[in-house]
Amino acid sequence: MRDGQHGVSKAMKHVRKWLTLASISAFALPLLLGCGVNANAASNESGSDTVTVRLLTKDGTLGKPVQVPRIKRTPQEWKKTLSNEQCDILWNKGTEPPFSGKLLNNKKKGYYLCAACGLPLFKSDSKFHSGTGWPSFFQPAAKQNIRKITDRSHGMVRTEVVCARCGGHLGHVFHDGPKPTGLRYCINSAALKFVSYEDAKSMAEDNPVNEKAQNHPEENVGNRLPAPEKDTPLATEPGEATAVLAGGCFWCTEELFEHVKGVKDVVSGYCGGSADTANYKTVCTGTTGHAESIRITYDPSKVTYGQLLRIFFATHDPTTKNRQGPDVGTQYRSAIFYANDEQKAVASAYIDQLTKAHAFSRPIVTSLEPFHAFYKAEDYHQDFARKNPNYPYIRVWSQPKLKKAEKTFGDMMKKE
């Protein structure tokens, strides 16, 4: 039943109020008892490394079912992309207080995505007012995108719903919803991220498992990216220069550029915001102006600024706004922080060159931003991929990126 569609009698209102309180109790009891359920539960119990889901396409609609890598994260990895509240809900199966969620009264038209991995879970068309205090939906956007799990915690038997791709806890589903399904998906606001139908076009994902390489913006793109026509010349004497780039998670970009010939050092950090917000917890809110960035120190007699940009564009997706793979937010935007007019001119000219060459199937959204300051990230972020090669996130996203670069730019990559 949609908001305001039908009236009910006074008697029925009392019945509904009683039923609502009962359903609130069923959903909120874990909150009252404490929700520190061990996260080994749910979600990532499947032995398969892939899962079949439906992704957003370039026109902002859901595509056909495809296989994608299953995201399996440790608590530390969850904390890299989630706020404390989101981590408690998605990882520890917590519950936000009723009537507190930011999306409870959201009436805009669009998709509700998984806050952790960006998978489309629900549509505004199926959202209704249940009176329970949590966002409610009578059906998912795609049945493949959620999983149902029997939940026997707290002396009750309920049906938990989790994100099919990352396993994040969303809430529960009850059989007291409106037609046509009779279901009520009672979902935590903090487990969701809203995107309008129009903005959903920029959230499109290309399938990294089944799609042909020529249709994937990253796959083998280096083979067809031209060298920059405008570039800084190689220096005649050894020296040092710096480049600051943002292309998604700095774990991945740091590892990649550490393997480029002529690169002396790569540091993970934050750029674009102020000093007082340059810490991981605050940057993860997506409100600081910072982007997860890397500062590359290189020898300009061995590699040029333009050559670094060619590798940069070939190894991330510069066509998705505020997103790289499963990481969503302004802190994951594609950006070049130019230190001087020369860097700005080279970067701007190269973007124009790639655009005219139709190097990508979608417009490049990489921003050119003046460099003001770079703030080194916390120590545990430095050389993370090298120190933690078996982390699922590193194995799924960083290592394939590096192997692709080594294959595409073999003569520019260091030999181990």
Which residues participate in catalysis according to the annotation? 186, 249
Report the 3 state secondary structure along the chain. Answer: CCCCCCCCCHHHHHHHHHHHHHHHHHHHHHHHHCCCCCCCCCCCCCCCCEEEECCECCCCCECCCEEEECCCCCHHHHHHHCCHHHHHHHCCCCCCCCCCCCCCCCCCCEEEEECCCCCEEEEHHHEECCCCCCCEECCCCCHHHEEEEEECHHHCCEEEEEECCCCCEEEEEECCCCCCCCCEEEECHHHEEEEECCHHHHHCCCCCCCCCHHHCCCCCHHHHCCCCCCCCCCCCCCCCEEEEEEECCHHHHHHHHCCECCEEEEEEEEECCCHHHCCHHHHCCCCCCCEEEEEEEECCCCCCHHHHHHHHHHCCCCCCCCEECCEECHHHCEEEEECCHHHHHHHHHHHHHHHHCCCCCCCCCCEEEECCCEEECCHHHCCHHHHCCCCHHHHHHHHHHHHHHHHHCHHHECCC
